[in-house]
Chain A
Amino acid sequence: MSKIQVSTNINNESVEYLCEPHDTMLNVLRNQLDLTGSKESCGSGDCGSCSIILDGELVCSCLMLAAEAEGSKLETIEGMSEGGKLHALQQKFLEKAALQCGICTPGFLMASKALLDHNPTPTETEVRFWLAGNLCRCTGYDKIVKAVLEVADDMKESA
């Protein structure tokens, strides 16, 4: 079977690639486009380490076919900071020690960004259920939840 040509937009840049029909988006991001910030931990959509934002919606890139990206707009962790300035969530994760080993962090940051894009004033329960698709084995989630809630608070104050 011949390869599929895909034209898409990743982190505000036009990108073209050829992929096999069965290639996952995660595989193409990591192994073709050198965007290794998205991680594969389970390959079955259970851990959220490969979370990206596809046309505004949070998805597991391991469950998405690379061919599906045609004409879409993708956001990955590599595009989260702009012009060398960290996103408020990235900054807060650092200040609040919301990461230990850091392997799940890109996924949590993408998921948290998607949450705040949808719901800028989440309750703790809403944060916990939104992030329930992202596994972290190091932190017990405590500092991650607090960091996301603090960013939401900061956004409210500056609004």
Chain B
Amino acid sequence: MNEISNKWIGKNTVRPDGAEKVTGRAQYSSDTTMPGMIWGHVLRSPHPHAKIISINTKKAEALAGVKSVITSKDIVDFPLDTPVILGIQDMRWMCRNVMARDKVLFHGHPLAAVAATTEAIAEKACDLIEVEYEILPWAIDIEDAIKDDAPILHDHIQFNGKPSNIAGTLEHKKGDIEEGFAKADVIIEKHFKTEAVHQGYLETHSCLVSVAADGRATIWSSSQGQFMVRAMTSFLTGIPQSNIRAIPAEIGGGFGGKTIVYLEPLATVLSQKTGRPVKIVMNREDTMRASGPTSGSKSTIKIGATNDGKIVAAQGIYYLQAGAFPGSPIRGAAGCSLAPYDIPNAHTFGYDVVSNRSKVAAYRAPGAPIGAYGVECVLDEIAEALKMCPLELRKINAAKEGTKAVHGPVFPKMGYIETLDAAINHPHYKAPLGKHQGRGVASGFWFNAGGESSAQLNITEDGNVVVTTGHPDIGGSRASIANITAELLGIHHDRVSVLIGDTATIGYSNLTGGSRVLFASAMVVTESAQIVINQLKQRAAKIWGIDEDAIEWENGEARPAGDNAGKFAPLTLAEIADKATATGGPIGAGYQVNTEGAEGGFATHICDVEVDMDLGIVRVKRYTSIQDVGKAIHPDYVEGQLQGGCAQGIGWALSEEYIYNKDGHLDNTGFLDYRMPVCSDLPMLDTVIIEVPNPKHPQGVRGVGEVPLVPPLAAISNAVYQAIGKRSYSLPMSPPKVLKIIEGN
């Protein structure tokens, strides 16, 4: 039977993992159990900064049902003087983050863990652990952490020749910044502040680990990378990677926050010591206190332009909270903030500041929303000073093919200007506004990423396809992989199963993160499919007794071509698969590579708000996200990324913030007072998908997931300014803050 000609790329197919997810059968991390399983619980610091004088676990160990108690002594130590880098993490910090060593550095810092027959006993045992602390002065906010007499978190970290909480810097320069400002007709310089915000994934961290009698460990956990879990657990426990199998559970959201481990090494050691499978589930309170968030920041942005709207100089100075250990996303702030613009003289500088907060983790375009926030607000002030349309100002200065970005690379063909044109021409931009309503725009950029990926594509005996890749599917990537495979092989997408392999069943694959998954997996799936198509042609050649070069693969079947055209009836995938044993054996191929050619993504957003002048409440009335996605393989899930990022941006701009009290404790650890947008807070979120294909990718794919969170902070700020005529230079624009601005205080 001939296949009907298919074009699956760009179709909104039903995702391969969908039926399990709508029936509650999909196995997320904490849904897994094992025979003989016991429960772990983690003891956490009640202080933001203290020396650990002693830990006495005797009473806890004596409690009935307790099987083991561990502390930092049981986790591999990495001395402070030697970096041990794994991806963007350093094992010196990871070993101290999963279990405090000598000092606790934030409220919620783990310092012991218990395994017991029930969760309740494990929790009770934690209460029986006696810890003697010497409480130290602490610094929560950047201002307090960088002042001269600030309490120092890490004695060995030096800045300008003395101990400091500034753990690192990063600088980008282009042209001559002073000369540039000298040419400007208008210069605007402003200071901005943002608060730490959590990724807000609804699935908290959890894992189940079984170390068998032969010493081999199996880890079930939800993460953005099973290979990351395996590697970090190996480093922190000393078990060789080859003896650890990390199985990725379905992941209930990550947004960057599940790119490091918290519990897996602890559960592994507890399982090793007890000989039992150990499950640990972090509750929401601890997830807020001790995982994520992304940095709070302060920044200064200075931009100069000539009267005709040409930006001649721009400078951004960023201080980002790293939390208790170095590693804030200054690269995203300093690298992305000016990338949408062709600016002859530019300078960005980022400071990585440690303080007594939980260690930050990646969050969707890490650092870039912070960078874009100040720049895109100042651009609006420049536009106002020059009496120009803010989108026209951006267009005059837009980066395009051939522009050398401030962070280094020269852009190939890309679609930033297309997003601006689409915004200018969008009905939203021309729609009338009501009383106390305002409209704001902003643009944003994210690098996107390539890196290691592996795929295996097997033809089943009945002529269908199973594709395995190594990246946890965080938001529909299986659906896109099914579309691409179906397109390449010319078969119905229903005939493609897509699986996520574990560390033992698929080759090394880097994290699900940086907007890399579909970019990279499409490349290795495409290569695998090409190899398989060649195999299928070889098998048909054998069946027909002709040369394989005289065979074409089209619409899911082998067809004789050239001189042989029409001589044989075409052979379908199923017919060739049926004869696989006789023609050479199983059909299938894998491919793995360090993918290159990820090109950046650009977006422009339009936002309308209405401000309640009595209560200070800002409501988003209309929102349109416009983004160059390269090629939308599955448009609905592309839209979903745009809408989800936008909603997170609305939360960051209006209602979300980490609030520490005078004791250095995080005060809002629940969803009631860490206020993420709910359904009734939002309007429909419109999207415009622009497709300027990435010239370096077989399907033209660019990353999609990160960029949508870059413009919203400024788009919403600019809209609030237009609505009330006054600007907030800090986020979130919560009702009390907005009310103060309205009242002029």
Contacts and interface: CB of A to CB of B under 8 A. Distances in A.
B28 interface: yes
Interface in A96-131: 96-97, 99-106, 109, 125, 127-129, 131
B37 to A, nearest CB: 10
Nearest to B29: A103
Contact of B679 (A36, A49, A109, A132): A132
Given A36-B24, A96-B636, A105-B21, A137 B684 contact: no
Contacts of B637: 97, 100
A44 interface: yes
Contacts of A40: 30, 204, 281
A19 to B, nearest CB: 13
Interface string A35-60: 11111111110110100000000000
B64 interface: no
Interface residues of A, number: 55
A141 B646 CA distance: 11
A42 B684 CA distance: 26
Contact of B670 (A42, A96, A132): A42
A37 B201 CA distance: 17
Contact of A94 (B14, B474, B643, B647): B14
B676 to A, nearest CB: 6
B284 A42 contact: yes
Interface stretch (A1-9, A65-73, A77-85, A151-159): A77-85
B671 interface: yes
A82 B30 CA distance: 26
A122 to B, nearest CB: 12
Interface in B1-58: 12, 14-15, 17-19, 21-28, 30-31
Given A93-B22, A100-B644, A136 B636 contact: no
Contacts of A133: 678
B205 to A, nearest CB: 12
B680 A86 contact: no
A46 B672 contact: yes
A13 interface: no
B253 A138 contact: yes
Contact of B284 (A41, A101, A141): A41
A61 B679 CA distance: 20
Contacts of B639: 97, 143
Given A47-B671, A137-B644, A142 B284 contact: no
B643 A139 contact: yes
B22 A99 contact: yes
A137 B709 CA distance: 13
Nearest to B199: A137
B475 interface: yes
Given A76-B24, A131-B679, A137-B644, A44 B672 contact: yes
A119 to B, nearest CB: 15
Interface in B72-117: none
B18 A132 contact: no
Interface string B471-506: 000111000000000000000000000000000000
Interface string B206-240: 00000000000000000000000000000000000
Nearest to A137: B200
Interface centre among A35, A41, A77, A127 (most CB of B within 10 A): A41
A99 B670 CA distance: 23
B678 A135 contact: yes
Given A94-B18, A100-B475, A131-B679, A139 B255 contact: no
B202 interface: yes
Contact of A100 (B27, B640, B648, B679): B640
Given A101-B203, A102-B21, A135-B671, 7 more contacts: A44-B284, A97-B639, A100-B476, A132-B680, A135-B676, A139-B647, A145-B684
8 contacts: A30-B31, A36-B31, A97-B634, A103-B201, A133-B678, A137-B201, A141-B647, A146-B684
The 9 closest A-B pairs by CB, nearest first: A37-B24, A103-B252, A140-B647, A77-B24, A102-B21, A140-B643, A97-B636, A46-B671, A100-B475
